[in-house]
Structure 1
Amino acid sequence: MREIDYKDAARFLKRYISDRGKIEPRRKTGTCAKHQRALSRALKQARFMALLPYTAEHMRSM
């Protein structure tokens, strides 16, 4: 497996986020613990760098 990078937000990391903007759990994504931690870290970095939103679009309009 290639290294997980926060800069892959647009095409790779979005599939590991729920429709509410939360990180999908390990049992749903099917990743091992090591890769789930790396995914989590990359998603949090992407959010911090404003490449991904913290919340879903439909939740912001409420």
Structure 2
Amino acid sequence: MAFDNKGPKNRKRKKVCQFCVDKCTYIDYKDAAKLRKFISERSKILPRRTTGTCAMHQRELTEAIKRARQIALLPYVTD
């Protein structure tokens, strides 16, 4: 008998933007705890495909992380 292949079994769910779910209009650069979730262990900004953020919030997130780095709330690099 033939196998019934209707589609991929290990389908991954699409990630949903956390900021859209929370209806966040502004990403605060002073909230370092929230921003750390979007930074790798080497202090690089994680891409959209990893975090699941939408394009608008990814741009705002990038600006917020850069501002937080400027005033030393987040590190530029980790040693």
Q: Give the TM-score range, shorter chain.
A: 0.7 to 0.9
Question: In 1, Cα distance between the equivalents of 2:42 and 2:31?
Answer: 20
1:35 matched to which residue of 2?
57
Question: In 2, Cα distance between the equivalents of 1:35 and 1:43?
Answer: 12
Q: CA deviation at 1:39?
A: 0.3
How high is the sequence identity, in percent, across the aligned residues?
59
Which one of the candidate residues 39, 45, 48 is aligned to 2:70? 48
TM-score after normalising by structure 1 = 0.85
More helix by share: 1
Q: Runs (4+) of structure 1 moved beyond 2 Å? A: none
Unpaired runs of 5+ residues, structure 1, are none
CA RMSD of aligned residues (A): 0.7
Alignment of 1:1-62 (within 5 A): 1-2=23-24, 3-9=26-32, 11-56=33-78, 60=79
TM-score after normalising by structure 2 = 0.68
Q: Higher relative contact order by CA 8 Å / sep ≥ 6: 1 or 2?
A: 1
Greater gyration radius: 2
Amino acid at match of 1:40: T
